[in-house]
Every structure is written in structure tokens, then in C-alpha cells.
């Protein structure tokens, strides 16, 4: 706690000696969206040449300028470094809490979205491609876990949004084509939408992978009796 208070006081002192306004060159180079994690963005923008951020529902976070390329973000309790090489990105300054771990937030290209942003925009093919890119890079990433996507689908079902549930379950079957559960869930969503043909097709796929899938067996029997 004492170390944290000392750091904040030090940053305040440094900030008081530093103009909080930034150059046009810096603003042009740094403003934009940065990939905070596989499915979350931090947006950097400027008001009256002072650096602000949008992050996790907070649309107006003012960062404390330490020098021309580093800023303190109280909400993260981190000093953020803007690095232009090899391409613009944000790094977190080293500190005891993440000793030896490098944090690198790359600047996103114009028009680039996270998988969920693509999905919410109903750009389902692009959402799938974005999920696949994450899977190829980090197969253990929580964003593309089978159960994470499955839970998302059932949240849509609870809202009676069967079309969205079907789309996220379809993505899950592509990411995990050997999983009986993904096809079972997709079959159930089609059933709830009263699309019997696709429901039966996907339930049969679930049983082809795992003949002991009781949920799929029970629903298929109900549809074909």
C-alpha cells in the first residue's frame, strides 16, 4: 500500500512538471483502438490535446501524463508506454506485480473488430475468422473455450433470440468439430426455432460423435417418433 501511494505521489509530482497537452504528431500516431485482450478493446482519444481512454464501460478516463510517451492510468494502476516501433503499440511499464511478464497491446487496424464485435454486428463469417485466428494463436484462450461459447448461446436462448444462439453454436461446431456437445446444442437451438430438419441433422451429428449423448438421444426421439 505504501509503495502504491508513493508511486501515485511521484507520478503526480512528475505530472505537475509536465504539460498534460500532447503534440499533434503524437495524437495522430496514437489515437485509435488497441487490443487489450483477445476480445476486449481500449480506445485512446484526445480532448483539448489531453489523452483520454474508453475502457470497460467508462467512456472518459483521463490519463496522467508522466512524459511524452508514458501515462499513468489509475483504473489499471499501471503506467502505459506508447511505443512506435516496430509499429505503434502500448506496453505496461515493468513493476513487481508482473515481474518478467511483458504486456503488449497492439493498435488495431481501421475497421478491425473483436470477434464479439463482429458477431454483434451480425458479420458472422468475420466473427468465425476472428475466433479461428485466436484459436490458432492460443488454443487455451478463454475467449474461444467451447463452454464459454456454449454459455453465450444459452444466454441468447433464455432471451428467445434463437437466431443468435444458432449462429454462435454454429461457430462452436466449426471450432470444435469433434465435440458431440456443440452439435447437440445447435440441434436444440434449431428445435426451439421449430426448424425440425436442421435440428434432426445436428442431433444425428452429435450422436455420430458420441452415441451415448443422452440429451441428443432424448430430443431426437421426440422429433422422430
179 within some domain = yes
Q: Does residue 129 sit within a domain?
A: no
Q: How many domains does the chain have?
A: 2
Asked if the structure places residue 51 within a domain, the reply is: yes
pLDDT digits (tens, 9 = 90+) for 154-201: 999 999 999 999 999 999 999 999 999 999 999 999 999 999 999 999
Residue 113 located in a structural domain? no
- Report the C-alpha gap between 214 and 19 in whole angstroms: 66
Range of the domain at 22: 2-106
Give the tens place of pLDDT for each residue, 86-118: 999 999 998 888 888 889 999 999 999 999 999
Report residue 211: phi and psi, to 5°: -60, -15
- The 10s digit of each residue's pLDDT in 49-73 is 999 999 999 999 999 999 999 999 9
Q: Does the residue 118 lie in any domain?
A: no
CATH number of the domain enclosing 171:
1.25.40.10
Amino acid at each position: 500500500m505504501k509503495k502504491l501511494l508513493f508511486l501515485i505521489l511521484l507520478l503526480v509530482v512528475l505530472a505537475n512538471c509536465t504539460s498534460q497537452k500532447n503534440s499533434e504528431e503524437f495524437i495522430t500516431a496514437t489515437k485509435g483502438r488497441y487490443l487489450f485482450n483477445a476480445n476486449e478493446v481500449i480506445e485512446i482519444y484526445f480532448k483539448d490535446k489531453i489523452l483520454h481512454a474508453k475502457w470497460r464501460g467508462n467512456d472518459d478516463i483521463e490519463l496522467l501524463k508522466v512524459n511524452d510517451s508514458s501515462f499513468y492510468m489509475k483504473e489499471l494502476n499501471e503506467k502505459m508506454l506508447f511505443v512506435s516501433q516496430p509499429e505503434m503499440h502500448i506496453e505496461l511499464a515493468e513493476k513487481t506485480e508482473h515481474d518478467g511478464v511483458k504486456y503488449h497491446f497492439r493498435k488495431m487496424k481501421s475497421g478491425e473488430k473483436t470477434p464479439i464485435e463482429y458477431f454483434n454486428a451480425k458479420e458472422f463469417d468475420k466473427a468465425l475468422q476472428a475466433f479461428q485466428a485466436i484459436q490458432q494463436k492460443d488454443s487455451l484462450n478463454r475467449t474461444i473455450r467451447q463452454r464459454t461459447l456454449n454459455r453465450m448461446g444459452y444466454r441468447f436462448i433464455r432471451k428467445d433470440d434463437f437466431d443468435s444462439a444458432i449462429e454462435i453454436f454454429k461457430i462452436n461446431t466449426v471450432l470444435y468439430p469433434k465435440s458431440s456437445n456443440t452439435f447437440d446444442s445447435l440441434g436444440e437451438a434449431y428445435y426451439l426455432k421449430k426448424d425440425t430438419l436442421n435440428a434432426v441433422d445436428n442431433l444425428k451429428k452429435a450422436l455420430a460423435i458420441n452415441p451415448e449423448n443422452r440429451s441428443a438421444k432424448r430430443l431426437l426421439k421426440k422429433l422422430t417418433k
